[in-house]
Amino acid sequence: MPAHLTLRLLGDIEIARGSERLTLPASKKTRALLAYLAVTAKPHRRERLCSLFWNVPDDPRGALRWSLSKLRGLVDEPDRPRIVGERDTVAFDSDGVEIDVLAARRRVAADGNLPLAELKDTAALFRGEFLEGLDLETCPEFEAWRAAEREEARSLHRRILIALIDRLSATPAEALPYARALIGIEPYAFAAHETLLKLLVAAGRPREAEEQFAASSRMLAEASTRSAHALGEAWRALGRATAAPPAAAPNSLPDRQGPAFRRAQTIRFCTASDGVRIAYSTVGHGPPLVKAANWLNHLEFDWESPLWRHWMQELSRDHMLVRYDERGNGLSDWDVADISFEAFVRDLETVVDAAGLDRFTLLGISQGVAVSIAYAVRHPERVERLVLYAGYLRGWRERGNPDEIERREAMSRLILPGWGQDNPAFRQIFATFYIPEGTPEQMQWFNELLRITTSPANAKRLVDVFSRINVSELASRVRVPALVLHCRHDAGIPFDQSRAIAAAIPGARFVSLEGRNHLILQHEPAWPRFVAEVRSFLGESADSGDAPSQA
């Protein structure tokens, strides 16, 4: 009798026969196909599977047959085929196979009062997010399904953790790991933070409770001042008001790496020529460094976010960093008539004038690259250097790639019905698209960043404007030193776009980085390389006239 087959989908996909972990096919689509067949647990028409994974003009049925042959070699048993293929349909025979996400659902559905040991075993099945790292940016329908399944799994995990915390309330120290895990999947839920504080106090850990109160207050303040206030009331009710340190002000950086990194930013507002109020901030000391706005910025939220925090710390280390929230985003006005590329450039002009800057380095990221190029052409006397990361000269409609246009239009159509919903399933698609190698915490922060920074209507308008950007003619007119960087396998913006930028700007230096995320995360090897290249570039004389080079 063959050994028992186990399929783990919570976290990185794994398959084992008995105690032996099997080697998965290298093809992500083949692994995704196995997960899809196993979880849906029904026959699927071959045409449907082809359109889901191989919607390309060349032989999708051949690609499906190849993937099925790989899966048969992996999961079929001598007297029992697990991949069941009929002429028109394909299914996965899961009878007797342990599939973690389905096992968790069955246990909770079958008995709402599982024995404590079984409840702990069920919680242990959640090694990570559903199909973690198995992103297919060219398969939007699969990504939508994966995001919905991920949200359902997260909800199930939440129910299990709450049940465990309730069962273990008499032994608070034993309940603490589950309370911390609950905050991990619900970082902005007041009840989760309140529960953790109560358990820490009950477990006799006052110092740890004080530190947790400060951290929880900062986190909740970014999402809802009402929740942060309610947490303060709950803390006082616990009798720890005199021992608690004050919650960090919303516009200060938490002391995560010592006093040297606690930098208070100053937020001000200026008014563009059409009356739109633009929020901007300054932080740090030294030569001015202006960061052009990109999509989804929030002056306050970015300081707490593990997506942006390391950027803010590094950029303000030796410079006065000036940032602003684009119109329709963050703390700037949302209800605006004009959302256009020309308005974006005017907003940058307005912020520079309001900050009283004469000469400065200009940093553009993503959409901010095109804005920075346009500004540098209009005001060469003010821009000392250009740092351009992960940008493009032409938006996705202007680039004219039919596959890219179809994929992005499909995502764009879902913005209005999906962006602002409490269920984050749709926003999760964007998270997996832009930071496919992010941790679960970083994915949650990106998801929340979308919700907090702009409205569904503005998101739709912004996407349309970005798609039509074209500064191809302007790039050759840039007359300041420029450093252009891009991650080679960027899932959000094609790598060749920055190569085109570097080729178009006279004398530009081009640096290729290794990575798949659109925004470089702190744990990536690309981050120290990015920092070293930028610091070296900013240390050069603006008049050095270096010849173009490529790293």
Query: For 214-248, how does the pLDDT look when each residue is reduced to its tens digit (9 = 90+)?
Result: 888 888 887 666 777 888 888 888 863 334 333 33
CA 435 to CA 491: how far, in whole Å?
Answer: 8
Cβ contact 392:501 at 8 Å: yes
The pLDDT of residue 110? 66
Q: What does the pLDDT read at residue 387? A: 98
Tell whether 226 and 89 lie within a shared domain: no
Q: What is the CATH number of the domain that holds 331?
A: 3.40.50.1820
CB 279 within 8 A of CB 332: yes
127 within some domain: yes
Side chain identity, residue 169: S
What range does the domain containing 140 cover? 111-237
Q: Which residues contact 29 (CB under 8 A, 6 or more apart)?
A: 53, 54, 63, 67, 136, 139
Distance CA 90, CA 469 (A): 44
Q: Go through the chain and tell me how many residues it has.
A: 551
- Asked if residue 280 and residue 207 are part of one domain, the reply reads no
Same domain, yes or no, for 26 and 131?
A: no
pLDDT at 419: 61
Last residue of a domain, one of 429, 449, 468: 468
Residues 166 and 222 in one domain: yes
Structure confidence by residue, pLDDT tens digits, 404-415:
888 778 777 767
pLDDT at residue 186 in the model? 83
Query: Do the Cβ atoms of 277 and 333 come closer than 8 Å?
Result: yes
Distance CA 445, CA 305 (A): 6
Neighbours of 47 (CB within 10 A): 13
Q: What is the pLDDT along the chain (551 residues), one digit of tens a residue?
A: 567 899 999 999 999 998 899 999 999 999 999 999 999 999 999 999 999 998 766 788 899 999 999 999 999 988 899 999 998 999 999 999 999 999 999 988 765 578 899 999 999 999 988 999 898 988 888 988 988 888 889 889 988 999 999 999 899 989 999 999 999 888 888 889 999 999 999 888 888 888 888 888 888 887 666 777 888 888 888 863 334 333 333 333 333 333 333 357 888 999 999 999 999 999 999 999 999 998 888 888 888 788 998 999 999 989 999 999 999 988 899 889 999 999 999 999 999 999 999 999 999 999 999 999 999 999 999 999 999 999 999 998 998 888 888 877 877 776 766 565 555 555 666 777 788 888 877 887 887 777 778 888 888 899 899 999 999 999 999 999 999 999 999 988 999 999 999 999 999 999 999 999 999 999 889 999 999 999 999 984 334 333 333 44
Do residues 478 and 459 share a domain?
A: no
**Does residue 17 sit within a domain?**
yes
Q: Do 381 and 403 fall within a single domain?
A: no
- Res 306: pLDDT: 87
Instruction: Count Cα atoms within 13 angstroms, Cβ side, for 147.
Output: 25
What backbone phi and psi angles, to 5 degrees, belong to 8?
A: -105, 120
Residue 250 forms part of a structural domain: no
Q: Taking the complete model, does pTM exceed 0.85, yes or no?
A: no
Nearest-angstrom CA–CA distance, 317 and 342: 32
Residue 544 lies in a domain: no
Confirm whether 341 is domain-assigned.
yes
- Kindly state whether residues 360 and 287 are assigned to the same domain: yes
Distance separating alpha carbons of residues 427 and 421, to the nearest angstrom: 9
Residues 310 and 402 both lie in one domain: no
Residues 315 and 192 in one domain: no
Q: Which pLDDT score, from 0 to 100, does residue 215 have?
A: 86
DSSP of 2-45, one letter per residue? PPPEEEE-BSS-EEEETTEEPPPPS-HHHHHHHHHHHHH-S-EE
Give the total number of structural domains in the chain.
4
Do 531 and 423 sit in the same domain of this protein?
Answer: no
